[in-house]
Structure 1
């Protein structure tokens, strides 16, 4: 589901990618509609960098992201599989296995790309 990023979304994106100056996807020319796809595809240099960027988020931000994913607001469709693995491990470590499994189930059902 495409959405307009909220102030909180922008804060989370800029906390994890401080070099983010704009909110427009370089590939599509459209505005970002999610947090994790641009983080994975435009700012993180690889899966390890993606993990380091996730570490900048506090548990409240992470719970918020998980909630967005599970309600269909946050797209995972364009996040590379190796980054999804990192994200799932990160969620498992910080919020528990149930949250990670719920995201995995959602990811396996989701298709499409909403940056």
Structure 2
């Protein structure tokens, strides 16, 4: 589901990618519609960097991302499988295994990149 990032989303994106000065995707020219794909695909140097950025989030911020994913407002479809697994591992260790399993279920059920 395409959406416009609200202030809370933008703040979270900028926490994960402080170097993000523009909310526009450099390759498509379209404004970002999710938080995790730009962090993974535009700002992280590699999977280790992506994981490190995610580890900076509080449990409340991780739960907020989970809520967005569960209701379809946050897309995982543009993430490579190894990046989804890294996110899932952080969720498992910080929020719980049940929530982590939900991430994989959602990712495998809907592989569309929006």
**Which TM-score band applies after superposition, normalised by the shorter structure?**
over 0.9
Query: Larger RCO: Structure 1 or Structure 2 (Cα < 8 Å, ≥ 6 residues apart)?
Result: 1
Matches of 1:90 and 1:46 in 2, distance apart?
A: 16
User: Cα distance, 1:6 vs. partner?
Assistant: 0.8
C-alpha distance in structure 2 between counterparts of 1:80 and 1:103, whole Å = 13
Tell me the equivalent position of 1:78.
Answer: 78
Shift of the alpha carbon at 1:111?
2.2
Which whole-Å CA distance do the structure 1 matches of 2:86 and 2:111 have between them?
19
Alpha-carbon deviations, 1:31-64, whole Å to 9, x = none? 0000000000000011100000001111111000
Calculate the TM-score normalised by the size of structure 2. Answer: 0.97
Deviation at 1:68, TM superposition (A): 0.4
Normalising by structure 1, report the TM-score.
0.97
Shift in Å, 1:80: 1.1
Q: Secondary structure of 1:3's match?
A: coil
Once the two structures are superposed, what CA deviation does each residue of 1:73-93 show, in whole Å capped at 9, x if it has no partner? Answer: 100011111111100000000
How many residue pairs get aligned? The number is: 114
Q: Which residue of 2 aligns with 1:56?
A: 56
